[in-house]
């Protein structure tokens, strides 16, 4: 059963022949024809069976899949909110400034975080979703998964008879790129870190580069770069201190402090990392951020310098 269109509105239109409770997968069969797009969303050029990832954002559906969304409630009165920005004051020094603004209340919808996996069926490489169940209360998940395939590739099939089995391959998650072991002061790390921020507007790039630079002043022993749907996230590993800092290129965010090793973090979804209360601390990007980051390294001689610079 092949679907070729931009988006569907009702899964039942295409799946009505399935018995209620039956299990199925959304599948892309001719993956070689979509090799360029598969690489764009994070897969390797070899398209190795077992590769699994959260697809990189290319449109509104994949954005919701990776990041979730906030929906304004325009039937309710506006509320006063506050936003802290890092900006130049009188065209000179950078400072944190808190500003108020009015907006409609928002409801946050969590990211579905549907992952895609390359496998083999009848001797041919295929791309598959996780198993889905044809139930009335699962229609939102089914609709989202089909529309994700349609946004990424313009087509998909429904596999409902003999599902693809994954146990024959070692799963290789491609959500993170690990740099070689060794200290990473700013002069050594700046090229790869600035590649994370290069798509930002100049003023945002300057802000995020400054954050990255401060963290690398403490010479992390390893840096892990988010890829695919984790694009924009960086884990700074201070393994001797059992300290792992999760930063992102997005302004108005926070630094997450973990005691877990990066291998543990790399197996989690974004929601599990950011909302699972697994972090030891969450340091918001406000006026005291540089001092709090420096305070994580009290025995480093440059901590005092960084606090004074902040």
Does pLDDT of 310 surpass 50?
A: no
Does pLDDT of 140 surpass 90?
A: yes
Task: Provide the pLDDT for residue 304.
Answer: 43
Task: Provide the pLDDT for residue 307.
Answer: 45
pLDDT digits (tens, 9 = 90+) for 145-204: 999 999 999 999 999 877 776 555 678 889 999 998 888 888 889 899 999 988 888 878
Range 284-299 average pLDDT: 86
What residue spans define the domains of the chain? 2-66+110-173, 70-107, 176-309
Does pLDDT of 29 surpass 50?
A: yes
Is 242 or 162 the better-scoring residue by pLDDT?
242
Range 37-56 average pLDDT: 94
Task: Provide the pLDDT for residue 122.
Answer: 85
Q: What burial letters (b/e) apply to 211-236, b meaning 16+ CB within 10 Å?
A: bbbbbbbbbbebbbbbbbbbbbbbbb
């Amino acid at each position: 059963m092949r679907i070729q269109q931009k988006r569907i509105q009702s899964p039942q239109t295409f799946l009505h022949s399935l018995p209620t409770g039956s299990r199925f997968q959304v599948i892309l069969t001719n993956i070689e024809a979509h090799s360029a797009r598969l690489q764009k969303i994070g897969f390797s050029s070899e398209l190795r069976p077992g590769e699994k990832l959260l697809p990189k954002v290319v449109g509104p559906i994949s954005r919701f899949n990776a990041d979730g969304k906030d929906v304004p409630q325009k039937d309710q009165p506006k509320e006063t909110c506050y936003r802290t920005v890092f900006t130049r004051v009188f065209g000179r020094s950078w400072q944190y400034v808190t500003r108020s603004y009015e907006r409609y209340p928002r409801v946050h919808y969590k990211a579905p975080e549907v992952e895609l996996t390359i496998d083999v069926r009848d001797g041919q490489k295929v791309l598959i979703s996780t198993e889905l169940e044809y139930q009335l209360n699962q229609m939102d998940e089914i609709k989202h998964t089909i529309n994700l395939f349609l946004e990424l590739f313009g087509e998909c099939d429904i596999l409902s008879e003999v599902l693809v089995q994954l146990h024959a391959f070692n799963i290789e998650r491609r959500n993170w790129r690990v740099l070689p072991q060794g200290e990473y002061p700013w002069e050594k790390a700046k090229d790869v870190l600035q590649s994370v921020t290069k798509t930002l507007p100049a003023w945002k790039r300057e802000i995020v580069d400054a954050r990255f630079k401060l963290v690398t002043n403490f010479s992390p022993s390893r840096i892990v770069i988010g890829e695919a749907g984790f694009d924009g996230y960086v884990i700074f590993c201070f393994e001797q201190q059992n300290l792992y800092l999760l930063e992102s290129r997005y302004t108005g965010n926070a630094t997450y402090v973990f005691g877990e090793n990066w291998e543990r973090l790399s197996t989690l979804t974004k929601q599990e990392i950011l909302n699972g209360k697994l972090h030891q601390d969450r340091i918001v990007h406000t006026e005291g951020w540089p001092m709090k980051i420096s305070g994580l390294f009290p025995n480093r001689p440059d901590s005092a310098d960084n606090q004074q610079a902040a």
